[in-house]
Amino acid sequence: KTIPQFKAFLEQAESNPKCQLQDLDSFLLSPIQRIPQYNMLLTDLLKNTWKDHRDYRSLTDTVKEIRAIAESVNEKKRESENIEKVKALEGQLLQFENLAVPSRRFVSEMPFIELTNVQLASKEKNIVILLFNDILLF
């Protein structure tokens, strides 16, 4: 959307009545949203198909394949969300400018209270520990 000609094209296309006022993201999401629907329909069809029907075997294989596809899509979505989380944390942690590297994955965020006893005066300090697959930050 940063190229002016492409931005103008998108705006024109999205305002077209044939697009029903949907943006590009909506169109890109539609096929992904259909996968669970196909899974439900095919599973229901399989439940209502006789085991001796000539299509039962191919239907069983198709249900297995659509489940594998759905699992793969979900895993890729989780990976994408994790990468976005690492990028967001990099933006927040200015002292770590190279936090978002391709192999790095966010694992967990853990809040802690650091207790110190400086000259018998106890102090509490809130800290957050960020665990990644390859580093630990606090």
Q: What is the pLDDT of residue 77?
A: 93
- 118 pLDDT more than 60: yes
pTM over 0.75: no
- 28 pLDDT more than 90: no
Angle at CA 130, nearest 5°, toward 126 and 136?
115
Average pLDDT for 46-51: 96
- Please state, in angstroms and rounded to a whole number, the distance separating the CA atoms of residues 100 and 51: 51
Q: Read off the DSSP letter of residue 12.
A: H
